[in-house]
Structure 1
Amino acid sequence: MVATTGAGLVQSREPDKSGSMTTRPRILYAREQDLCAREFQTLLQDCSLGAIRPAGDPDRLDAMLRGANLIVTARRDEPERPLVGIARCVTDFSWCCYLSDLAVADAAQGLGIGRGLLEETRRIIGPTVSLMLVSVPEAVGFYRRAGMADMPDGFVFKRER
């Protein structure tokens, strides 16, 4: 069961392995265009996406953040507000939105944060904008379970470095 406790704030109660109800940590979702490259780098190093992103190149990470015009973050509702997830997008806010990165810290996997980031991104872009992405093979099932349709006719020119 997921209960919305305010704009962008979600807390859920789920049965644990013994059947007792446990409270998952509260997660804050927000648009955060001024996210610093250091926090982005730390998150990438803490998740599987870091293996295929330039996590060791802070200048490139900074350029990636500055080039994205929609950054949605997930933070634990704790004093330090640790970053546990990000959706980094490029959009025209009218027709389409390309989700470049969806990353969730390994320690926060299974808390519904990836789905929460997708939902918050869709809320921000609105119902007239298509959300699309290119998935790593390991995440295809996640996107299908989240309700996204396969897009078989996509094409790409791969980067040279």
Structure 2
Amino acid sequence: MNPKDLKDILLALEMADVREFSLKTAEYDLNIKRGAEAPVYVQAPIQPVQAQPVQTSGQTQPAPAQATAQAAQAQPPVTEAAAPATPVPTPGTPVKAPIVGTFYTSSSPDAPVYVKVGDTVVAGQILCIIEAMKLMNEIEAETAGTLREILVKNGEPVEYGQTLFIIE
């Protein structure tokens, strides 16, 4: 593999925000991992601060009750964060991206789209194009049915295995 090919692969992976990539051929075995996994943030409950008596020149002076009340009011209320709702899967057969690249709904900007929601598709019909490293890859329907959902917008990057369409 020449350096230009490797640079093109790295650029395509970065544009698609792919974190891990493997490619195995008869000549080489390439494994790429970018960055660390995203950190998980956990918010700890905020504990109100209690005013402590201040000791000056051997004498203890109590903190004013008013300052303690203001400090308690200044603390935001601690609420439990609701767990994110899991999306309800759409019934039907998913059409997944076989490669990483850019999703296109038509062969050119001025051409009509291949399919729209509600269209009846047959096995082998072209649904979209995924551009990967300046190569246009036609993605075909594996099953016949009615197109129920298009999950990607024109021009968006897609990852390997990402669901593109739902055919019912």
TM-score (norm 2): 0.20
Q: Which has the higher helix share?
A: 1
Larger gyration radius, structure 1 or structure 2: 2
* Structure with larger RCO (C-alpha < 8 A, sep 6+): 2
